[in-house]
Amino acid sequence: MHITYLHQYFNTPSMSGGTRSFEMARRLAESGHVVNMITSWRAGDGRTDWFTTEESGVCVHWLPVPYSNHMSYAERIRAFFRFAFHAARRAGSIEADLVFATSTPLTIALPAIYAAGRQRAPMVFEVRDLWPELPIAMGAIRHPMVKGAARALERWAYRNSEAVVALSPGMRDGVMKTGFPAERIAVIPNGSDTEIFGGRTAEGEYFRASRPWLGKRPLLLYPGTFGKVNGVGYLVDLAKSLKKKGSEVRILLIGDGAEKQAVLKYARSAGVLGDNLFVEDALPKSEMPSLFAAANVIVSLCIDLPELRANSANKFFDALAAGKPCMLNYGGWQAELVNSNDAGLVTWGLTVDDAADLVASHISDSNWVSRTGLNAQKLAITYFDRNILADQFIAVLDRASSRNGVASLGIAPGVYPPLENAT
């Protein structure tokens, strides 16, 4: 089968950021499918036209379109539509038996629907965030006409889809609210790369030894974006409280984003930067396993919006793969997984001081870290192993290619009961 795969922000393991599309696309290629990935090149290195590379059996078509988390909403929207216009022409000219498009942004539906029409091929649409509900809740989309247009685009994307892949049960529910039939929706979350993240103890020890401020102290790690939706300033407040309590816990933030300088400024003024809170630059995905091996607990953050509780954060699944307890400051399905399987800490609804007490009392307890880490790893192996999810993904696309999208629910229903063998 010839598959045209559209993802505006595709990453390889040598780049920082999530690699879901890379992992799924390479497995499609290994299964014998011909995969053309249509994406953007964000390096800003002077390139101006399409170029192609071969990545693990996938032909990747790159269009230079500058983009970063530092851009304003207006600049991002311009980048979305510029890519959509040129991607439509590119994708429409490539032979395809199936067109697959993954958001965000929602505008990826435009070139996907066009290409599917040109090639007379079915389309599968993947929902990574609750668009447009999330940008509306964040205040990025305010004008009533723009809100209406965004919702119309969402419904149009679903109407033109043989099947929809949602990255969480909450996202599935959001799709169903538009009237899209449940039996055509598969829930396939971001996956846990257990083969990549396991067995990195020695690398973790080297990471610790190379940082005199860390040594044998407990490490709370946040590896992710410094964006408005993340609310990374929460960890500055947590560091202030831990310092006040005399805790030896160290907090490390690794990543980039529009809010990074503001977080640094806040941490400096709070007297925690370089004391018990440290910040380093983003790393490529290939270097993340060593970093995770050095941590005691991995943190996933969101500001408290109902629309964000359906998220499918990569760092959460990477923590499970590494066998590390995860700390969440938000509610939703991931928090329920952590609580029902004793796989970490949920500080949602707690004051910062209460959260600091909870962290300090658990992170230094080696028995707790070991037990909850094993439970996290069991979740990864049982429900979220990348190979299991990729098999489901390929099965959904196979059925959709023969206009049998109604099989999607049975392939990946998105039900995760508590594990009976959780320790």
pLDDT band (50, 70, 90) for residue 399: very high
Residue 354 has pLDDT above 90, yes or no: yes
179: left (phi over 0), alpha (psi -120 to 50) or beta: left
Q: Which of 313, 264, 254 is nearest to 284 (CA)?
A: 254
Residue 245 has pLDDT above 90, yes or no: yes
Residue 316 has pLDDT above 70, yes or no: yes
Output the average pLDDT for the chain: 95
Q: Which of 149, 155, 179, 194 is nearest to 374 (CA)?
A: 194
pLDDT band (50, 70, 90) for residue 422: low
**pLDDT in the model for residue 276:** 98
Task: Kindly state the average pLDDT of the residues 215-233.
Answer: 96
Contact 58, 37 (CB under 8 A): yes
**pLDDT in the model for residue 423:** 67
Residue 147 has pLDDT above 80, yes or no: yes
Measured distance CA(93)–CA(86) in Å, rounded: 11
CATH topology match: 2-191+385-411 vs 194-383: yes
Q: Tell me the CA distances in angstroms from 211 to 35, 252, 274, one per residue in order.
A: 42, 11, 12
Q: Which of 101, 106, 167 is nearest to 312 (CA)?
A: 167
- Domain 194-383 fold is Rossmann fold (3.40.50)
Structure tokens given for 108: 């990826």
Question: Within 10 Å of residue 80's Cβ, how many Cβ atoms?
Answer: 20
Domains of the chain, residue spans: 2-191+385-411, 194-383
**pLDDT in the model for residue 45:** 84
CATH code given to domain 2-191+385-411: 3.40.50.2000
Over residues 256-284, the pLDDT tens digits come to 999 999 999 999 999 999 999 999 999 99
Contact 396, 412 (CB under 8 A): yes
Full-model pTM? 0.95
Sheet bearing 98-102, strands edge to edge = 51-55, 58-64, 34-41, 2-6, 98-102, 123-127, 163-166, 185-187
**pLDDT in the model for residue 231:** 97
**pLDDT in the model for residue 107:** 93
Measured distance CA(405)–CA(176) in Å, rounded: 15
Least confident piece of the model among 196-200, 310-314, 406-410: 196-200
Radius of gyration of the chain (CA): 21
Measured distance CA(254)–CA(145) in Å, rounded: 38
Least confident piece of the model among 67-81, 144-158, 183-197, 313-327: 67-81
Beta strands of 318-407 (E only): which ranges?
A: 326-328, 344-346
**pLDDT in the model for residue 25:** 98
Amino acid at position 240, single letter = K
Residue 32 has pLDDT above 70, yes or no: yes
**pLDDT in the model for residue 420:** 85
Question: Within 10 Å of residue 316's Cβ, how many Cβ atoms?
Answer: 27
